[in-house]
Amino acid sequence: MRLAAIFAVLSAAVAQPPDPAYVPLARAYDALRARDYDTAIAAFQQAVAASPRRPDIRKDLAYTYLKAGENLLARDQFSEAMQLDPADSQVALEFAFLCYETKEQAQARRIFDRLRHARSALAETAERAFRNVDAPLAAGIERWSRAIASGADNFSAHFELATLAEQRDELAVAAEHYEKAWRLVPDRRSVLVDLGRVWLALGRLNEANSALLAASRGGEPRAAELARELLPAHYPYVDDFRRALALDPANTELRRELGYLLLRMDFPREAELEFRSVTETAPDDLLSATQLGFLLYARGDQAAAQPLFERVLAGKDEDLANRVRAVLRLPQVLKARPSAAPQVSIDAKVMAERSIKAGYMKDALKYLQVAHEADPGDFGVMLKLGWTYNILHQDGSAYRWFDLARRSPDPQIATEGNRAWRSLHGSSERFRTSAWLFPIFSSRWHDLFSYGQVKTEVRTALPIRPYLSLRFVGDTRQTIGAAAPQYLSESAVIAGVGLATVPWRGITAWAEAGNSIGYLTHHMVPDYRGGLSMARMIRTESTRWFAATTVDALFVSRFGNDFLVYAQNRLGYARGPEYLRTQLYWNANVTIDSQRQDWANFFETGPGLRVTSSWLPQSMYLTVNTLRGVYLVGERPHFTDLRTGIWYAFVH
């Protein structure tokens, strides 16, 4: 039995996993005995990495740092050990002494205060240390309080009192006098960092973030860096900027950044107020003057923009001046001189271009905004901002940037910007008139059919738009009562009033009521129609392959209240230069109706060709399709149809 027990113990010991810190710890202790502190520190660091939850390793590393004279590093390791083992009073005492030596009196005082009330052999030592720290702080607070009461109402008095009060954890007193010190010398924004830190400790988060945000913009670089470390990770909101400006209204950099934020959010009027405030309080801020001038000029107030442009032209920033000259179409002044802003702009433009190529449009937008801030007169950036907003379906912002880009002195940028602006112009107008015409010849019917519509819609704040419509459906052979009247020709002009939804992901619903006037019979018949339309296209620009689907579900009252569904699918390849662009594709189309009429239920498939050219109007193209069809209902024979047509549409 005894042998079995010994064997079990040995087996359990062998089964235990090896200590991952054993090897580096052995090397560390060997180095300590040889007083090779550098080797010992490196070995202890390896042991910490192997067993990060062991406080004894961190404590030994801290003592080794002390022997090597690295008090700050020792303090940090004692802090880690104290967090891992809060009951170790010796580690806490060592940490407190090192805090005191490294000018962190507030932290040292708190720990001494805790230890002196603990039941520990170190309580007496902690009591003496606490008094040594607390007594000078209390005396200093009393001295500076008397001085201020006696009339020493200056920056130094309030700042010293606030510093001592913070170290003694009298946070309300510290906050009061930090704020008074900063009010006396508002250029010392490092005091705002102190004030923000104390407000954070008091739980006054909004006030703390306001102070830190103000300190992070403008003034001292070191203060800005410290403030950013204490600020929340997210970019400040508009309300954050407003509160910070209420605390620090003279902070021009903060107000300018708020102006640019409002521009990004498409609030040009609000942004204009901020830039105007900057130009009034800081006349030398040429960047804000330039941006305000561009905003005024873009909305047609050239008279108000001119004094701002003159201020920039008279200034020393030739880059901004040349941007203004470009807007006013004045000769450029070339002068070689270093400038940081163009480099920032170039870097941001490069990153924006990479993001666009990778398809990261939101990242591209951020980089383009940075590039615009660095160089507000770069019309190429304005044009790219327009396209980026357009791709992100923010057409209101895209419209404004295209409007600026079309004023570029560069003919290519101006032309492209003007074309894009005109394309979006209709969507921003109260009334929008569109028209389309599609004449098509069918070998199956040996006839030329024509379909067309003119429609004027009213843009509202709702997702539904009313419209007036005039349709035309006819053919050269003037067929009446053909086998498939809905599909071919109604020989009529149809006037109607309707409602249509704003397209959502390519889907539109509509309903229309009117009268159909036969141009052959001159009869007027009530006409009610409506339905759903859906269009989808997938493109692969690298290989030029594409797939397109359109589905129309249509109710027509005139033909027995029939309900038809047309689905057209194309899979193909696009090729050719801009002056002769072609699409080769395969059709797969199906038509069905609710009444199961033989003529209205068929499937057709076959090759097709679509041709467009830069010589033709942008929305015009020619189509040729060879289709083989089969009816899905009844016994009609299979058919072959060569269909050619010309599509043309425009918007006014």
* Same domain assignment for residues 420 and 497: no
Clarify whether residues 438 and 412 are in a common domain: no
Give 271: exposed, middle or buried? Use CB within 10 Å, 0-12, 13-18, 19+: buried
Give domain status of residue 357, yes or no: yes
Decide if 310 is inside a domain. Answer: no
Query: 414 with 438, same domain?
Result: no
Q: Last residue of some domain: 428, 448, 467?
A: 428
- How would DSSP label each residue in 272-314? HHHHHHHHHH-TT-HHHHHHHHHHHHHTT-HHHHHHHHHHHHH
Do the domain assignments include residue 281? Answer: no
- In a shared domain, residues 497 and 629: yes
E strands present in 461-505: 464-475, 492-501
Q: Give burial (CB, 10 Å; 0-12/13-18/19+) of 537.
A: exposed
Confirm whether 573 is domain-assigned.
Answer: yes
- How far is residue 285's CA from residue 499's CA, in Å, rounded to a whole number? 51
Q: Are residues 500 and 421 in the same domain?
A: no
HEC readout, 16-71: CCCCCCHHHHHHHHHHHHCCCHHHHHHHHHHHHHHCCCCHHHHHHHHHHHHHCCCH
Domain end: 375, 393, 428, which one?
A: 428
Same domain, 538 and 616: yes
Q: Looking at the structure, tell me whether residues 480 and 417 fall in a common domain.
A: no
Asked if 524 and 583 sit in the same domain, the reply is: yes
Q: Using CA atoms, how far apart are residues 215 and 27, in angstroms rounded to an integer?
A: 48
Q: Is 364 helix (H, G, I), strand (E, B) or coil?
A: helix
Q: Residue 79 belongs to what H/E stretch?
A: helix 71-84
Same domain for 588 and 542: yes
Structural domains of the chain, count: 2
Which pLDDT belongs to residue 455?
92
Residue 417 belongs to a domain with what CATH number? 1.25.40.10
Q: What is d(CA 443, CA 552) in angstroms, rounded to the nearest whole number? A: 24
Q: Is the pTM of this model over 0.75?
A: no
| Structural domain of 380 | 340-428
pLDDT at position 355: 66
pLDDT value of residue 199? 92
Do 463 and 599 share a domain, yes or no?
yes
User: Residue 519 maps to which CATH number?
Assistant: 2.40.128
Would you state the pLDDT for residue 341?
Answer: 46
Residues 466 and 536 in one domain: yes
Dihedral angle of Cα 589, 594, 595, 599, to the nearest 10 degrees: -10
Say if residue 401 is in the same domain as residue 345: yes
> What is the Cα–Cα distance from 195 to 368, expressed in whole angstroms?
35
Domain boundary among 400, 428, 456: 428
Residues of the chain with pLDDT under 50: 1, 3, 6-16, 336-344, 479-488, 541
Nearest to 99 by CA among 122, 123, 129: 129
State how far Cα 639 lies from the chain centre.
54
Long-range contacts formed by 347-354: CB under 8 A, 24+ apart: 348/374, 349/380, 349/381, 352/384
In-domain check, residue 142: no
399 domain-assigned: yes
C-alpha–C-alpha distance, residues 15 and 428, integer Å: 77
- Is residue 636 one of the residues assigned to a domain? yes
CB 408 within 8 A of CB 417: yes
Which amino acid is located at 593 in the chain? D
User: Per-residue DSSP letters for 215-234?
Assistant: HHSSS-HHHHHHHHHHS-SS
Residue 468 lies in a domain: yes
What amino acid occupies position 92? A
pLDDT given at position 502:
82
User: Residue 489's pLDDT is what?
Assistant: 56
Looking up tokens 């805090």, which residue turns up?
Answer: 99
* Torsion angle of C-alpha atoms 478, 481, 482, 486, degrees rounded to 10: 100
